[in-house]
Structure 1
Amino acid sequence: MARVARCVPGAVDGGCVRVAVDGPDGSGKTSFADDLAAALRALGRPVVRISLDDFLNLRTVRYRQGRHSPQGFWEDSYDYARFAADVLTPLGPGGSRRYRPAAYDLKTDTMLEPEPSTAEAETVVVVDGLFLHRDELAAAWDFSVFLDVPFPVTAERMAHRDGTHPDPEHPTMRRYVEGQRIYFRTCFPHQRAGILIDNRDFDAPRIVRG
């Protein structure tokens, strides 16, 4: 992880550095992003951690194309306008550095308006989430990682974590697996990422490219 942390570029003119940790559901994005944040702090760099899952749309929006729709999962899961307004713009070039870390509460299915926080100058903003290399987000990142883990492995992990079916081809998994396949076909995140990492072994991530 220290090697990846050393690859994160420095800030320009006191601004922030925006870093994406992308990959399939169950690929280990949250843990990887947490470990990367810790490695960056060990290098003396200030860090803000953000999860795109805190910028979900309301359930009525997420499921407006049907609860089993892969297209709906791909198109309607996240509130990208709020994510841009609350995170990417204020923590981007020339931004105010006043950001909000969350816009949605999953338990209550309500939108949030937390008081803004102010990031230090030269903060590294580490964001984990699905679909971070889609067209409207890809250009925002100063550095990005894609965790390459096959669906049979991620489905097994999700089964342990969420109680879902361990077979990625099972009908109950179609919304999520096919939605992510749409993303792969449309946006080529494996190629867009600055670093591609084989994360099948949580304890030994392997840099494939970058």
Structure 2
Amino acid sequence: MKLEAITWQRMAERLAGHLDAPSAEGGPWRRVGIDGAPAADTGVLAGELADALRQRGRSALVVAAGGFLRPASLRFEFGREDVDAYLGGWYDTGALWREVFAPTDPGGSGRVLPDLWDPVTDRATRSPYTQLPTGGVLIVHGPLLLGHWFPFDLSVHISLSAGALARRTPPSDHWTLPAFARYARETDPASTADALVRADDPRHPAWTGIRAR
């Protein structure tokens, strides 16, 4: 696999340029998924892409998957370190479909809920809906995004080697490492995504570019 050294800013500009092309689905909004473990810090590329799009005169809304965690009573039903629960039960995918993706389907309202649940307070955020104008881009980022058939027009997976993932994951969260190993094995996001980024050293990312499908 050939990888090209690139900066995050330049990568965002390339992604923004790709999104200038008309959607194959013909919908009024484009949807981008930036997938990666928390240690991959997917919010950095999401923010850079939003900036690049706005410089092109396009609206962009960044939604973190972490704002759609389930309540603690559901996440920790089988214990605080259950790998199966983390893979299949921590994130409220139904709410993401209902509040984020359905409004940006063709014929949707464009009214997106940017977050639903605050895991610190374990309460609903009560955030207001955001109206994404026609032609705007929805950017969803966070872990485990590519195993749910979310309708992304463009997907990026930020990959870390096992060693880098372990180094950059806090020791208290090392119990999640087997979950990401399973995700890589069962979902194969490195092949599924439209673009693969290797970011063992976040100062020097490299990527495949946007691959033809």
TM-score band, normalised by shorter chain: 0.7 to 0.9
Long gaps (5+) in structure 1? 166-171
| Structure 2: gaps spanning 5 or more residues | 1-10
Answer whether contact 1:54 1:102 (CA < 8 A) is retained.
Answer: yes
1:5, distance to aligned residue in structure 2 (A): 2.4
Q: Distance in 1 between matches of 2:32 and 2:128?
A: 23
| Residue in structure 1 matched with residue 160 of structure 2 by the alignment | 149
Q: Give how far 1:130 is off.
A: 0.6
1:208 is displaced (CA, Å) by: 2.6
Alignment of 1:7-22 (within 5 A): 7-12=18-23, 15-22=28-35
Question: RMSD value over aligned CA atoms?
Answer: 1.9
1:71-125: per-residue Cα shift (whole Å, max 9, x none)?
1110111001111111011012221101110110122101244332211111111
TM-score w.r.t. length of structure 1: 0.86
- Structure 1 residue aligned with 2:174: 173
> For 1:89, what is the secondary structure of its paired residue?
helix
How many percent identity over aligned positions? 25
Q: Is contact 1:63-1:76 (8 Å) kept?
A: no
Deviation at 1:11, TM superposition (A): 5.0
SS in 1 for 2:146: coil
Contact 2:50 2:60 survives alignment (8 Å): yes
Secondary structure of 1:66 counterpart: coil
User: Any conservation in 1 of the 2:27–2:105 contact (CA below 8 Å)?
Assistant: no
Does structure 1 retain, via aligned residues, the 8 Å contact 2:72–2:119?
no
* Paired amino acid for 2:15: V
TM-score by length of structure 2 reads 0.85
Q: Secondary structure at the match of 1:20?
A: strand
User: In the aligned structure 2, how far is the partner of 1:203 from the partner of 1:41?
Assistant: 24
Q: How does 1:98-137 map to 2 (within 5 A)?
A: 98-137=111-150
